[in-house]
Amino acid sequence: MPNRLWETTGRDVDRLDLSIMFLPVGAMERHGRHLPLGTDTYTALYIAEKVAEKVGGVVLPPIWYGVCMGMRGHRGTFDIGQEPFAHYVRDVLVEAWRNGAKLVVIVNGHGGNTQALHYAAKEAALHTDLAVVVVDWWRDLGAEVRTRLFEKPGHAGEDETSAMLAIDENLVDMSSAESYEPHRPPLRVYSKKMDADLYRYALTGDASRASREKGEEWLEAIVLELAEKLHRVAETLNIFIHH
């Protein structure tokens, strides 16, 4: 098991190599009727721990709350403003550096967080000697496998539901899995009316097509790809990681 920093005793933390840290970031947000509200955090934590097993390093406590403007109309969603969220993450990164981190890998599980996370990472890197990697795991990794496996991906759709089935199928209610294909605008539009239509059911794609086997294959590809890319990053930064 990777070292979960929040479960580490004071005696043991003094013995740990803290040069590489993983920060899972998710959200509390509605995911259809069939997935847990913490889906984005569960997936980010799972990937962070699996990659930490391969390359070494410690896993920081996950950040459960995120920027969820588009899903505010659904009960169970907690939306944190971009500015306080970005400042909070920046401060966590600076504290990681103060505790000895040379590299922090942010594994992000929620699209609404992306802009704020990049801002926080840039600010932390500017004011410290810390290197920060920001990864939107579903978008930046495993693209070929995702395209091959999933015909109806989306928010709480076939792909995300498959991932959660692989992580913990007891948290998924497949009897409530549904399908919804909203009208997608041809341009990026910021609009409460558009969000209400796009996320009418807090679901896009077809969750009923999901399977644990698809999720396992996709997640395995993601973990291997991230571990391989981190080896290259660490070599450039002259940071030792496990092989």
241 lies in some domain? no
Q: In terms of residue numbers, what domain contains 201?
A: 3-226
232 lies in some domain? no
pLDDT in tens for each of the 243 residues of the chain?
Answer: 558 999 999 999 999 999 999 999 999 999 999 999 999 999 999 999 999 999 999 999 999 999 999 999 999 999 999 999 999 999 999 999 999 999 999 999 999 999 999 999 999 999 999 999 999 999 999 999 999 999 999 999 999 999 999 999 999 999 999 999 988 888 888 888 888 888 899 999 999 999 999 999 999 999 999 999 999 999 999 988 876
Residue 20 CA to residue 55 CA, distance in Å, equals 9
DSSP 213: H
100 lies in some domain? yes
CATH at 53: 3.40.50.10310
Cβ proximity of 169 and 212 under 8 Å: yes
Interhelix angle 158-168/39-55, nearest 10 degrees: 60
210 lies in some domain? yes
183 lies in some domain? yes
* The two structure tokens encoding residue 193: 């009316």
Taking 3-state DSSP, the helix, strand and coil percentages for the chain, each rounded to the nearest 5, stand at 50, 10, 35
* Total domains, the chain: 1
33 lies in some domain? yes
pLDDT score at 2 = 59
Residue 117 DSSP SS3: helix
Which strand (E) or helix (H) includes residue 52? helix 39-55
231 lies in some domain? no
163 lies in some domain? yes
